[in-house]
A and B are shown apart, each in its own frame.
Chain A
Amino acid sequence: MEFGWTQEEAAHRERVRAVLARVLPPDWEDIARHGPGSDEQTAFSKIFCPALHAEGLLIPHWPKPYGGQDESIWRQFIMAEELWAVGEPRGPQYMNVNWVGPVMFKFGTQAQLETYLPPILAGQAVWCQGFSEPSAGSDLAALRTAATPVEGGYRVNGGKIWTSYAAQADTCFLLARVPAAEGVSSGKAAIVILLVDMKSPGIQVKPIPALVGQGDIHEVFFDDVFVPAENRLGAEGQAWEIINYLLQHERVGIPRYALARRTLDRAVARLKSQGRWDDPVLRDRAGQALMLCEAARMMCYRVVDGKARDLPDDAFGSLARVAVVEAENGVSAFLTEFMPDGLLGGDPMQQAHHQRAIAAGVAAGPAEIQLNLIAQRWLNLPREPRAR
């Protein structure tokens, strides 16, 4: 057991920082303050990702046959920390390298790899994740969007909601349900994954005005949208396995505490410049927020360590998610109480962090679902009887 970085890992972190210092434009904060899904940040991601690729930093963790360097998960995570801390200049494209690619390697056909990987490598691909529906959020398996088998593929009808990046996306990673009559069975087994061209006739995208950053949530309507059979990922009935694989990649992919910590560092610098850092109450509260950030960091490191050492998946990812939600909200609560001016135009980056923080406990599966998973899979408590 040890908690240090190798020289090589420390040098990697320095290199990522140096690249960021060189590649991020002077007005980066203006770009970043609207959030990863904003028009500004999406446009910038198409400049940034190719630049990152030129530095060998876009997909180094991918396997060699797919253009990567089989880099360790720790190096990947170090980079993710640095990128998330500055506001994620990969914009929506972080998804591509974190999970779209890895899911393709494992479950995609040769033709799918040839179609979808080149735009990702070119840093020009924007994906969206069409999972949640108006009546299927936490209970994802209740989704109803229908994929009716037709000659050569499927006809999709239904609607998705809360879909991030949908207005910008080229492709939707869509979950839909094969009708019970046609499907192998109902429930999870009747879900299929379709890789849908967002320019297909019958798709309509509506942004949802929200407290979170721009471009973060949309409604997507599917009206008799034809999806060719070759765009189905995996077999019918395999979707749930693929989703679980995907979520494992997704959940460690975002070191949210890194931005929380950086936001806190900035706040303390501002408090000092305002002559307020002598206040012991304020220091106490800043220290508490700091503890939450560091707790979240250590919990996420434990998840990464499990992957690095190839340990069987346990419920620790859920423990870490809860710690991350607490860190995000702890920092944001501290700032809201002691630096409300930051949300009144005083610090756009404070507001940008706030907007990410308030979604932390909901996006990618609510905190309460994580608590359920901890109770059942970590503490082995008896399940709550299911409602019929």
Chain B
Amino acid sequence: MKTLIRIGTAAILATGLSLGGTAAQAAGGHGGPELKHPSWTFDGLFGHYNEDQLKRGWEVYSNVCASCHGLEYMHYRNLKGLGYTEDEVEAIAASFEIEDGPDEWGEMFTRPATVVDPIKEPYENDALAKLANGGAVPPNLSVMTRARDHGPDYVYSLMLGYEAGVPEWVHEEDPEFSVPPGKSFNNYFPGYAISMPQQLFPGIMEYSDGTEATPEQMAKDVVTFLQWAAEPELEKRKDLGRYVLVFLIVFTGVLYAYKREIWKNAH
């Protein structure tokens, strides 16, 4: 009897828990190579960000991605979370011209951004974004790693997943497959034909801290930055979580001992 009950619970719990996963996976599965899974500093019970890496990630974002992708919901002041000082953030903000107004004559004008301004969007509207990118709008990147299954691994794989030609296994799946003009082949993008051209090549930029900017390095850094953009609370969350868990486990242990004591003669 007891065992039956245990098996039953285990089954219910296991399905309950795994379903979130299976349901999510059902949404994006495809037959290409497995996602790459580098080690991330932000994984696990002790997950955290590394400020040097976050700054490098911001450099990749602002040098490479920012011309097409925005970071909605974020302000320049948030960049202090990367480890930049107040002055550095002010300087970064001031390097962007943004539209403001109307002034007292009813005219719109431009001025340098300040730390309280939202991070500047590359396109004024979706129509312009589409026009510039062959009909696809480059999506907002500030929630990207939350908005895809296995987000960090997916974006990392996507950035490194371009192929010059169409690989054999795709034609085995679909002999008719070809990449439409203006699109590129990517192993990880659903449907494999993506409107974003390959971005990360050796030598396209230099890091200010002297790290060698290989495509793998840039991908890893920019994904870490995007994960921070999506989950800026992660370090605080995990720090607090460890205290809460330790406290609750100890407290529950005490409750258990106390419960046994009370029930000692009652069975």
The answer to whether A and B come from one shared complex is no
Residues of A whose CB lies within 8 Å of any CB of B are: none
